[in-house]
Amino acid sequence: MSSTSAAVVGAGPNGLAAAVTLARAGVTVTVFEAAETIGGGTRTFEIVEPGVLHDMCSAIHPTAVATGFFKAFELEKRMEFVTPQASYANPLDASGGSPDNRAAIAYRDLSQTADELGRDGKRYSDFYAPLLRRLDGAIDFAFGGSMLRLPHDLLAAAMTGLRTFEQGTPLWNQRFTETAAPALISGVAAHSIGKMPNLATSAVGVMLGVLGHASGWPVPVGGSRSITDALAADLIAHGGTIRTNHAVSDIGELDGFDTVFFDTSARGLATIAERRLPARYVRALKRFKFGDAATKVDLVLDGPIPWADERVALAPTVHLGGSRAEAARAELAVSRGQHPDRPYVLLAQPTAFDPRRNPANANAVWSYTHVPAHSDVDMSERVIAQIERYAPGVRDRIRSVHVTTAADLAGYNRNYVGGDFSAGAVSLKQLLARPTLSAAPWKTPAKGVYLCSSATPPGPGVHGLSGWYAALRSLRDDYGLPAPHLGVSAPRP
């Protein structure tokens, strides 16, 4: 090709990953972002109080240090992470089978975790230890791209698949005899919105749990926007341009570029590029289903959360769902269009791990709960009640509250249709065909047009992989260029 220019629509982590990869290979890249700021799901704002920073969407980042793109990009050399000894915690109470209000804690050290799980300790260790021994193969299977490809490590893939099946079907209660171990696994699985047990939520839970016992669940110093800032800085250093406040409504606006990458939902791609795409493909994009949603409740406290079990403060992420059965009831209610009285709540408490982010007297607490799509219900009272349940007296420490309903989330980011921050439901069908069943699902039937968002494999998460895979495919097919070196250090000869 005589010219090498590319446009990227959307400046989330995937769009920026695509842009960085292309720019490193020598392609002239322009990124168009409709909002005032870049970042998509990795923005950090003064949401609740002036001078106090909260992450708008993602807050804790297990995939940002463990998966292919960010490892190649050497993200940990460009910004600082704090990785606590405990990855996540799941408080339990008497109704959940723990009469002394102790919590289940997932430490990075698997043996330490197992030691605190009583009779289920060995069973829990047996669940994760084989995957940790073949960690690279398990990560490749889960995050390596299209599900139609042959995994590099067939044994790791088989072990991951078997555990996903076990925990994603009615067999999920056969392994354990007590409450804490299954609550740990279900608390992670519930990150992926959907009734439990099912294979899609189980797949998410198995891999996030593995990472919790491997590289951990790190806190980005300065907030999630530090990840975005690192990507943007590298892009600009390699000749890229970012244009904010610039919405693209029709692909014709980008006719001057050789290739176009869409960090948008499948429906967003169909809307913008319909006249360039085959009708059959457009219909497939429009059939791609969105899932249920999240409502976010951000708090500022005047001190630490008074957890009944003080060990919960060791973990940056806390799953407030009680026992496995209770969390499953809450998620089932959401799937039926209801707002549960005792919802599953995902809470992040980064302040203790990143104390310089905010003033000393401000404890910024991040949380969300699941709700039906398009919900405009204020869930703050129910969320606070769940925190109070496991941290008596926390109400007295609340200084400010800010609620972002599912409807608000949809307005914040046009890719979060109905408040679905995954840009498409995470179901078994839509993990296999995301958004279509293809060996290269990032590549559309139109020449030089790519979808590079979490609507493509490997799906939701701050990993940059969808953008990276799309860019690598384009470098090969459109530009005849090799994959570039992405790291800070000089490439090896």
Q: What is the pLDDT of residue 492?
A: 55
Give the sheet arrangement for strand 363-371, strand by strand: 103-107, 86-91, 317-320, 345-348, 363-371, 293-301, 398-404
Amino acid at 283: R
CA atoms within 13 A on the CB side of 294: 27
Token duo for residue 167: 């925990």
Token duo for residue 262: 């869409």
The CA distance from 381 to 339, in Å, is 12
The CA distance from 127 to 200, in Å, is 18
Q: What is the pLDDT of residue 490?
A: 63
Measured from the Cβ of residue 237, the count of other Cβ atoms closer than 10 Å reads 11
The CA distance from 266 to 274, in Å, is 11
- SS3 category, 1: coil
Token duo for residue 491: 């490439």
Please report, in angstroms and rounded to a whole number, the separation of the first and last CA atoms in the chain.
27
The CA distance from 142 to 139, in Å, is 5
What pTM did the predictor assign?
Answer: 0.95
Please give the chain's pLDDT, 493 residues, in tens.
336 899 999 999 999 999 999 999 999 999 999 999 999 999 999 999 999 999 999 999 999 999 999 999 999 999 999 999 999 999 998 544 444 568 999 999 999 999 999 999 999 999 999 999 999 999 999 999 998 899 999 999 999 999 999 999 999 999 999 999 999 999 999 999 999 999 999 999 999 999 999 999 999 999 999 999 999 999 999 999 999 999 999 999 999 999 999 999 999 999 999 999 999 999 999 999 999 999 999 999 999 999 999 999 999 999 999 999 999 999 999 999 999 999 999 999 999 999 999 999 999 999 999 999 999 999 999 999 999 999 999 999 999 999 999 999 999 999 999 999 998 999 989 988 999 999 999 999 999 999 999 999 999 999 999 999 999 999 999 999 999 999 997 665 4
The CA distance from 271 to 250, in Å, is 8
Where does 192-292 show beta strands of DSSP type E? 219-220, 241-243, 259-262
Three-state secondary structure along 42-95?
HCEECCCCCCCCEECCCCCCHHHCCCHHHHHCCHHHCCCEECCCEEEEEECCHH
State the virtual CA torsion across 471, 477, 478, 484 in degrees, nearest 10: 50
